[in-house]
Structure 1
Amino acid sequence: MKKDQIYINHWLQLKPYTNETNIDLYYLNICNTIYAKIDIGEKIVLLSYISQDDLKMLTCFIVSYFEDVISKIGFWETFQQQYKSQNNKQLPFYAIANQDYNEGDINIQDISFLIWYYINTIQKEHSISPFNKFILDISLSAMEVFEEEYEYVPENDKLKTCYTLAKNVDFYDVREFIQKVIFSGFLFYPDINQRHDLELEELLLEKKDEEEYMKLSYIREFRETYTFNKKSSLLAMSASEWGYHFLKNTHQKTQGAETISKRVVGFFLYKNQDKNLIYLEHIASGKSFELTKKSFDDYNNLKEDEILYIGLVKWEGYWWFSGNYYKQEFNADLILDQKNSAVDRASVNFLNPTEYTQSFLEDQKKTFLKLNKGSLTITLPENKVDDFIQSFITHHNDTLKLSKEEIKESEERIKKEGFFHEEFSNQEEDQNFIDVNEKVVLFFNPSSGIEIFYGLETIFPNETHNSNLLEITKSDIISLLFSPEYSPELIHYFIKKFKNKVSILKESPLKEYIAELDFLLQFSKINHYEEQNRITFIGNS
């Protein structure tokens, strides 16, 4: 029977290498010292939220922070510098007095924050308060061990070397470094690293009967998506943003990491080429892309108007092939489908200025406010939602002065490609499934259009039912703050409108959460930071 202790395989999960050194064994011993100091009561509490293996990894995670600061690796410093630049203070949640906090050194507040972060990312079922007693108790125990070891603990030079980028590099070297930061750096283990592994595991289970080469392509595609298009729970930053700031904070040349774009993946028409570049047309949007031949060896085998499915990333002014690629003959049906796909057109929206989008949304917002007595939310019975939306469409089309043909075309486009939930676009067919007693909240999000939510009628009552605000509980607010389905804009709207009307917002931990609202929304709603704006197109687009 195995002892209840931490083994080297646990520790190495937080490292970019697989063979331990004597220094790794030294830090492993510190892990076990801290793990042994967690008393049975604290373990019982922790194990009600996370598994025993996750508890062991939490200990390794805390000690990796110690190693990072001692060895001057740079992960913790990079996070602190970025947080401080956004919030003008050292750390979320915890009160810091200058005399009891040494920036750049080991601090108990850092440990407490990291425990909070770990537990709230490794599991999502429970929202654990940063002021929970067991967090403080474990932080105190860890700090005692760190203070005892401080004068003797060795620096991990091998680890520092792993996070040093060479001087003469190309896009693929920079990509590899960024992937090492995000997939091997201790700071991202409970977050983006675990999300990547769990989602990939689910996908491969679903595709278990496919050929091996297809499975490898899924793995490659997944890694590419997480490298360029996903965000971390910490500060909602991408891997390339973390890579850039890590290089900058560790006084290395950034090697163009700041120029890396989001990844575009989709169908392109091959047009022609010259000595250095391959000219492609993104089928859905019609946009032109210039692919550097440095990144694509198969350029001699391309034929005009062949269709390429390919991933592209821009680095230092040029598009580079990144991920998977295959080609096929010209296909008119595929091209038509692509040109009619709002999703595929939107995949390159990040390349466009947003002035038109913002102007369009502002016009929609005015219509919504006019129709709804100046409020951005309205609570309706489910069977009245379709009527409200149709009224909204009619009023907005009237302001645009569209012809009958344009109105009909816009309504068809809404049904086909609109942002509204599917159940509302098919209500004529689904009337039997609508619950007349079910309440639905509609919110006009100034950044994306109308959003529809169930179960929020108490939190967002109509003006004539403001007494319902007395029924709001702490659990309601915590769910609103932490649930990924509710947009950041909805939360800001709620706080602005009801901060002085809902007394529990002034109680702990809600008042501390509200003080850190931007950080908390970045943390809990990363899907909203990853997505492109979703717009309900009404009228000309």
Structure 2
Amino acid sequence: MRANTSSIYMQDWLALHPYNRLTKTDQYYLDLSNDILKIWNQSAFKYQVSESIKNNISCQLAAYFEDVISRLGIWRAFTSKNKELYGKQLPFYSLPSNYFEDEINCEDIAFLLWLNIQLYVGNDKEEFIDPEEPSLMTLAREIFNLLDAEYETAPENPLMLDFFSFDKKDYSKFPVFANDAEWFFFQSYLLAACNEEPINEIIEQVQKHYPKASDKEKSAIVHDAVNRLMFTDPCGPLALNMNEWFSAIAGSNQPYRGYFDSFEFIDREEFYVIEKNNSYIKIRSVANGREIEVTKESIKNSSELIPWKTAIKVCCAFYNDAWWFFGEYSTRKLNDTEDIHPAASVRENKTEDAEDPVYATFMKASHDLPLMYISSYEALKKFFINGLRWEDNDDNMMPDLKDFQNFVLYVNPKGMLIAPDIAAYVKDEQNPMYNTEIAAKNALDLYTVQGCCPIDLLRYLEESNRLPDAQINSFKGEEHGKKLLHENWDFIARCFLESYYRGE
């Protein structure tokens, strides 16, 4: 096979890989990326896509092919987890009988095209891309035909073949996991594009809040923040935490999987240093009194960490039965008069299902209905005062909601949720604000716009069939658009809402 264009260069291809030196297969996959790009350029694709984005997506599709050929396991992790969650390997598409989990499939390529066009084009235009749009499906078939013709002779990449080789790589210590997670989060074909927006938001916030910092200082702050993001926020099309992705890659028979399943991450906190020996440093959270023993191996120089004299602000990761420091840290000396908070007392077992006190009051005021619809902020205040018996003061009256209307209130034993400006979307005989036309046009926002609707409320509305007009703008018509959305609503919410989907 010979490349037909030269718009994509080796540095573009290597940007998706965890190494800088060439392997014997890189030229092959670079040529393949350019062949995919040529097919794209000759297609009658509906959406306007810049050349740089076309280059990126062409490389990502070639990397998907390399993943399947080299048995890297990223795509298998995605499809197996999707099947675990939803009963089939992919959202949106009816999979044929000849869909093979460990081979390439036209539907795989269609999904990856949809995902990337959505991320790079649809999100910018605030438009939901129809995953079945004809020109997208045609392009997917043409790319599949190219890859299918290469399938039997395509070479394995030896470095990628061994990258997640749990038999050849020692995953018993956290730094190995953290190093591989960094590549997976920032560079892999499946997650990199999904994470661009939150990373760019961090960069913007650093520029805004540290205007006088040097470029070097800003870079260090950004690097630390995005590395923490890797372990604090769910990511990718399934909104999985990083340890959950690695657990899916490992598979059910891999003994290392337990390391990922039991992983815990404490985002930056301040701790007192209270004990130190040759094996560990014992620290106590200033905020909640929790004590943990961090392996001494996780810090190069612990001489400045003096028990009862030092506090350290740092992230901590629990992995394979050990705690590790992670990322940048800062220390301060404790003065002699500082009141050191005591260790957390042993708490009595408390049921996670303890009922929020608002629940009973709300249900009494609503006559045992978990939903209420309130048209104005003034009416909302009256409900707080007369229905929930709250004291009439600014703290209780949620003044941030003054500029909103058409509220939906939902209560369950965990507490009360309030979503403004969405009542028109909800079909309920108790809801006088419901509007079919407005719902048909805008209700998709509930599934795709972060902060528009709390996930517990969305789940209740969806499962109780109160959002019948919500739909994807499908070329097959309104009814099919509704069917496509409601059959895939949970995946769509995961993909678009991310941490809002996973939020407690």
Both proteins in one fold, TM over 0.5: yes
> Partner of 1:428 in structure 2?
none
Is 1:493–2:460 an aligned residue pair? yes
> Partner of 1:256 in structure 2?
259
Instruction: State, as a whole percentage, how many aligned pairs show the same letter.
Output: 20
Is 1:277–2:277 an aligned residue pair? no
Give 1:261 deviation, angstroms.
0.7
Alignment of 1:133-152 (within 5 A): 133-152=134-153
> Partner of 1:161 in structure 2?
162
Aligned-partner Cα distance in 2 for 1:332–1:462: 63
Is 1:522–2:494 an aligned residue pair? yes
Please state whether the residue corresponding to 2:460 is helix, strand or coil. helix
Alignment of 1:110-259 (within 5 A): 110-123=108-121, 124=123, 125-164=126-165, 166-167=169-170, 169-192=172-195, 194-206=196-208, 207=210, 209-211=212-214, 214-248=217-251, 253-254=256-257, 256-259=259-262
Give 1:355 deviation, angstroms.
5.1
Aligned pair partner of 2:328 in 316, 324, 330: 324
Give 1:287 deviation, angstroms.
1.9
Please state whether the residue corresponding to 2:378 is helix, strand or coil. helix
Give 1:331 deviation, angstroms.
7.0
Is 1:451–2:423 an aligned residue pair? no
Aligned-partner Cα distance in 1 for 2:495–2:413: 19
Number of aligned positions between the proteins = 484
Aligned-partner Cα distance in 1 for 2:309–2:445: 51
Give 1:375 deviation, angstroms.
3.6
The structure with the greater share of residues assigned to helix is: 1
Is this contact kept in 2: 1:458–1:468, CA < 8 A?
yes
> Partner of 2:434 in structure 1?
468
Q: TM-score scaled to structure 2, two decimals?
A: 0.84
> Partner of 1:477 in structure 2?
443
Aligned-partner Cα distance in 2 for 1:445–1:73: 45
> Partner of 2:75 in structure 1?
76
> Partner of 1:536 in structure 2?
none
User: Cα–Cα, structure 1 residues 322 and 365, in superposed 2: closer, same or farther, change >3 Å?
Assistant: same
Give 1:211 deviation, angstroms.
4.2
Give 1:136 deviation, angstroms.
0.3
User: Cα–Cα, structure 1 residues 15 and 35, in superposed 2: closer, same or farther, change >3 Å?
Assistant: same
Structure 1 stretch displaced more, 4-13 or 179-188:
4-13
Aligned-partner Cα distance in 2 for 1:75–1:524: 20
Is this contact kept in 1: 2:172–2:320, CA < 8 A?
no
Q: CA RMSD in A?
A: 3.5
Is this contact kept in 2: 1:233–1:524, CA < 8 A?
no
- Provide Cα deviations, 1:209-233, integer angstroms capped at 9, x if missing partner: 3146643541342233222111113
> Partner of 2:39 in structure 1?
37
Give the counterpart letter for 2:489 in structure 1. L
Moved over 6 A (4+): 331-336, 503-506
User: Cα–Cα, structure 1 residues 518 and 107, in superposed 2: closer, same or farther, change >3 Å?
Assistant: same
> Partner of 2:60 in structure 1?
61
Is this contact kept in 2: 1:421–1:452, CA < 8 A?
no
Give 1:39 deviation, angstroms.
5.1
Please state whether the residue corresponding to 1:507 is helix, strand or coil. helix
> Partner of 1:405 in structure 2?
none
Please state whether the residue corresponding to 2:181 is helix, strand or coil. helix
Give the counterpart letter for 1:525 in structure 2. L
Aligned-partner Cα distance in 2 for 1:247–1:176: 16
Please state whether the residue corresponding to 1:272 is helix, strand or coil. strand
Give 1:503 deviation, angstroms.
9.1
Give 1:306 deviation, angstroms.
3.1
> Partner of 2:92 in structure 1?
93
Give 1:168 deviation, angstroms.
6.8
Give 1:235 deviation, angstroms.
2.0
Please state whether the residue corresponding to 1:458 is helix, strand or coil. helix
Is this contact kept in 1: 2:117–2:129, CA < 8 A?
yes
Is this contact kept in 2: 1:34–1:59, CA < 8 A?
yes
Give the counterpart letter for 1:61 in structure 2. Q
Aligned-partner Cα distance in 1 for 2:413–2:214: 42
Aligned-partner Cα distance in 2 for 1:247–1:10: 28
Gaps of 5+ in 2: 473-477
Give 1:422 deviation, angstroms.
5.4
Give the counterpart letter for 1:68 in structure 2. D
User: Cα–Cα, structure 1 residues 25 and 320, in superposed 2: closer, same or farther, change >3 Å?
Assistant: same
Gaps of 5+ in 1: 340-347, 396-407, 425-433, 534-541
Please state whether the residue corresponding to 2:425 is helix, strand or coil. coil
Please state whether the residue corresponding to 1:121 is helix, strand or coil. helix
Give 1:335 deviation, angstroms.
7.8
User: Cα–Cα, structure 1 residues 383 and 114, in superposed 2: closer, same or farther, change >3 Å?
Assistant: same
> Partner of 1:430 in structure 2?
none
Give the counterpart letter for 1:135 in structure 2. L
Please state whether the residue corresponding to 2:25 is helix, strand or coil. helix
Give the counterpart letter for 1:56 in structure 2. N
Give the counterpart letter for 2:355 in structure 1. F
> Partner of 1:364 in structure 2?
358
Give 1:441 deviation, angstroms.
0.9
Is this contact kept in 1: 2:355–2:413, CA < 8 A?
no
> Partner of 1:383 in structure 2?
378
